[in-house]
Amino acid sequence: MLEIKEIQPSDTWEIRHRVMWADKPIEYVKLSEDENGLHFGLFKEANLVSIVSLFIENDSAQFRKFATEISEQGKGYGGQLLGYLIEETKQRNVKKIWCNARLTATGLYQKFGFQIVSEHWLKDGVEYVKMERNL
């Protein structure tokens, strides 16, 4: 059984660390603005397998630290969580949702209507682009 629900910022940190920046200290994945965000998790049975954090400012929202456990990738869980996040964001009267996407993840976001709106840049050896979608 799958369930998506709101979680605490601290619930996201281990997955963020393992999946995104395992070579860095765990403090690297903790955001100063975590306490001001909304955090969602997809649970498979009782296990948290995919997470995302949402930060709303006026009528725009940025999602960050979107990650799925490596052993659970390729099973559609990230797509389910992203679809949920888009609907949740629409209900909050947000007009645009955006992210700084790893270049390797742009295909998933494009399937959900996101468009690349910037040039590529590097952060700690990882290529990123800004992607956004009007709601």
**Confidence band (pLDDT; 50, 70, 90) for 85?**
very high
30 within 8 A of 53, measured Cβ to Cβ: no
| Topology (CATH level 3) of domain 2-96 | Aminopeptidase (3.40.630)
How high is the pLDDT of residue 63? Answer: 98
How high is the pLDDT of residue 18? Answer: 95
How high is the pLDDT of residue 5? Answer: 97
Q: What is the pLDDT of residues 87-115, one digit of tens each?
A: 999 999 999 999 999 999 999 999 999 99
Q: Where are the domains of the chain?
A: 2-96
Report the alpha-carbon distance of residue 64 to residue 100 in Å, rounded. 7
Rg (CA), the chain: 14
54 within 8 A of 62, measured Cβ to Cβ: yes
